[in-house]
Amino acid sequence: MEKGSIWVWVEKADGKVRQTSQEVLSQGRSMADELGGSLLAIMAGPVSEVNLEDLCGLPDQVIALEGDGEGGPSLIVETLEELIRKDPPWALLAPGTPSTMDWMPRLSVRLGVEMVSDVVGMELLEGGRLRVKRPVHGGRFLVEMESQEGGPRLLAIRPRAFARKTGSRSPRVECFPMKARGPTEVQVLEKAQREKGFVDLSEARIVVSGGRGMGGPEAFFLLEELAAILGGAVGASRSVVDSGWRPASEQVGKSGRSVSPDLYMAFGISGAIHHIMGMDSSKVVVAVNKDPNALIFQHADLGIVDDVNHVLPALIEELKRRS
């Protein structure tokens, strides 16, 4: 195991490297630099499809796993296990997405090494000890863990936990055969991508969310408009999803998605704890609610006490005027 060799699993969507992977590459670069080691980016797909620009000049080396399309989780596990056993990295990082969480836990079992998921903070201490921080109980608390000796440190990183940066390296690109393993156990029958321009909630820099105070499903068209202007994603509270106004994939909260955007705008959301748990790690929170006693104001940086149905159109108009 080369001290300080950091591997980062890189994901692509629509042929481009995803933002969450760039965030992890950035953090991996910082770690490698601090440890005096190297950064290796691993991704599925042929060498010909590797776009070095997408990798922001960060890795020293790239391995492209060539084989059966994207490779299901079991193929990724097999392949990574082989690579790791050949030459174990000091740490393997991946963006914490549903896809990577399908294989990293399985890899963890293969290697007999515990992993940490949803990492939001990292610190290298002297003696090469690594401390990581992750939220528990819906973000009510952070728990700090320290790596002990033995095995590569397996980490799944929360989207938007780390900032993206760029470097100036020109990595060498190699290919490695993705494992081919008989008939795939889980066969994908259909895959429906969202429309172009769709911003995933966990990756969005700006999230605009609506609750019961919006008054009805039609009012959400305004939120969609606001999201489009700001280049953000639309979120929803649990009661709005339960009432069928918005799909479950938009639910922010304890039983929905956790988001950490730079800007979270809560419209007509009361601020029940299960919702707060899903967005409290946002950098800046703006709350608009006509009830001055709404709990959401206790978790917001900026607030407007007024009817969302008056404020939203005003915001949209002002934004349109400016541009």
Site residues for another protein, window 27-66 (CB under 8 A)? Answer: none
Binding of residue 196 to another protein (CB under 8 A): no
Stretch that binds another protein, among 24-32, 55-63, 215-223, 241-249 (CB under 8 A): 241-249
Containing 130, the helix (H) or strand (E) segment is: strand 129-136
Tell me which stretch binds another protein (CB under 8 A): 21-29, 44-52, 169-177, 284-292.
Answer: 284-292
Sequential DSSP letters for 243-307: TTSS-GGGBBSTTSB----SEEEEES----HHHHHHHTT-SEEEEEES-TT-GGGGG-SEEEES-
215 part of the interface to another protein, by CB under 8 A: no
SS3 170: coil
Residue 117 makes CB contacts below 8 A (sequence gap 6+) with 96, 101, 104, 134, 155, 156
Using the contact rule CB under 8 A, the part of the chain among 28-36, 166-174, 198-206, 213-221 near another protein is 198-206
Beta carbon nearer to another protein, 151 or 215: 151
**In a 10 Å sphere around its CB, with 0-12 CB exposed, 13-18 middle and 19+ buried, how is residue 126 labelled?**
exposed
Q: Is 301 in the site for another protein (CB under 8 A)?
A: yes
Residues 108-127 close enough to bind another protein by CB under 8 A: 108-110, 112-118
What's the distance, CA 300 to chain centroid? Answer: 22
Taking the least distance from each CB to another protein, the nearer of 59 and 95 is 95
47, 173, 175, 295: which one contacts another protein (CB under 8 A)?
295
Tell me if 304 contacts another protein by CB under 8 A: yes
> How far apart are the two ends of the chain, measured CA to CA in Å?
54
User: Of 27-35, 39-47, 84-92, 310-318, which part binds another protein (CB under 8 A)?
Assistant: 310-318
Residues 140-179 within binding reach of another protein (CB under 8 A): 140-148, 150-151, 153
Residue 138 interacts with another protein (CB under 8 A): yes or no = yes
Task: Work out the widest C-alpha separation in the chain, in whole angstroms.
Answer: 62
DSSP string over 58-105: --SEEEEEESSTT--HHHHHHHHHHHHHHS--SEEEEE--TTHHHHHH
In the complex, the smallest distance separating the C-beta of residue 255 from another protein, rounded to whole angstroms, is 5
Distance, in Å, from the CA atom of 128 to the CA atom of 113, rounded to the nearest integer, reads 18
Interface residue with another protein among 48, 86, 182, 192 (CB under 8 A) is 192
Stretch that binds another protein, among 30-38, 52-60, 170-178, 300-308 (CB under 8 A): 300-308
**Which residue in the set 10, 77, 161, 208 belongs to the binding site for another protein (CB under 8 A)?**
77
